[in-house]
Structure 1
Amino acid sequence: MNGSNEVEALYRQLLTAWNDRNARGMAELFAEEGELIGFDGSQAIGPDDIFSHLDPIFRDHPTARFVSKVKTVRPLGSEAAMLRAIAGMVPRGQSDLNPAANAHQTLVVAKNAGDWRIRLFQNTPAQFHGRPELVERMTAELRSLLS
């Protein structure tokens, strides 16, 4: 498996853990100094802090599930890479995306003892202020993945 495939597989593991509401599973994918920056701007650093941040969210809220499309995976040398994706969210109990939750996602990973680990995962709102056609275009692209 080449690095690009491994990086994309790690990203899919991250989103699967979110969709399964598995805080421990998400946290374990991060390096010791790995950072998570959430949709609301909240930040958690390191697996323990990330777990402590996510666990009450999953316990107390019916989190929506991610639908995503990887746009690029770029090497940053032989031991690191950056993945960029677009993502949308389908609220629990519903079958369509909530366009207000569309996001750009950035994942920076590096090898640690031969295994890829997340150094940064940032989930940035894609609200495109004043440009509703861009929200519609992103939503349509993500919606095509729902079937």
Structure 2
Amino acid sequence: MNNSFRNEIENLYQKLIAAWNNRDAQVMADQFAEQGVQIGFDGSKVIGQKEILSHLEPIFKNHPTAPFITKVKDIRLLGTDVAILHAIAGMIPPGKTDIEPKLNALQTLVAVKTDDDWRVELFQNTPAQFHGRPELVEEMTDELQQLLK
């Protein structure tokens, strides 16, 4: 994939993450395709910009959401107008200074290009607990913690 596509996909992902970190439900929902799907850390599945917006608004209003610290691990073009991005993410809970390992996640974003514009078709935020392999949780936490230095 040429760097132009990589940059466009990473920019879309960073807009999505910035919207979460800024607790801006509208901007976050706007990054999705009309029927885009968001699967949250708790398994909640919402479909479409309107449903995503109505799902996120009360979360941001009623909960002190932690910001994401992320690292893109891979971006691949799956065709001329479809790409997949894999990232790791951690969160620093409000009032804390370090990443909370229990909140680590693997993030997958599938982007689709329509009319020269990339949109999120799927964003999935999966807990990265690596049951029975605590060293993997520690490695991921350390990798993300390095981004804070």
2:96 counterpart (74, 78, 94):
94
Q: Is the aligned partner of 1:130 residue 2:123?
A: no
Structure 2 CA distance, aligned partners of 1:120 and 1:146?
28
1:111 counterpart (96, 110, 113):
113
Aligned to 1:17: 19
In the superposition, the TM-score normalised over structure 1's length comes to 0.98
* SS of structure 2 residue aligned to 1:72: strand
Displacement of 1:113 = 1.1
Give the residue type in structure 2 aligned to 1:132.
Answer: P
Q: Which runs of 5+ in 1 are unaligned?
A: none
Aligned to 1:7: 9
Structure 1 CA distance, aligned partners of 2:86 and 2:144?
14
Give the residue type in structure 2 aligned to 1:101.
Answer: L
* SS of structure 1 residue aligned to 2:88: strand
* SS of structure 1 residue aligned to 2:17: helix
Structure 2 CA distance, aligned partners of 1:12 and 1:19?
10
Displacement of 1:93 = 2.4
Give the residue type in structure 2 aligned to 1:50.
Answer: I
- Map Cα deviations across residues 68-93 of structure 1 (whole Å, 9 max, x no partner): 00000000111110000000001122
Structure 2 CA distance, aligned partners of 1:112 and 1:91?
36
Give the residue type in structure 2 aligned to 1:79.
Answer: D
Give identity over the alignment, percent. 59
Structure 1 CA distance, aligned partners of 2:101 and 2:6?
29
CA RMSD of aligned residues (A): 0.8
* SS of structure 2 residue aligned to 1:130: coil
Aligned to 1:48: 50
In the superposition, the TM-score normalised over structure 2's length comes to 0.97
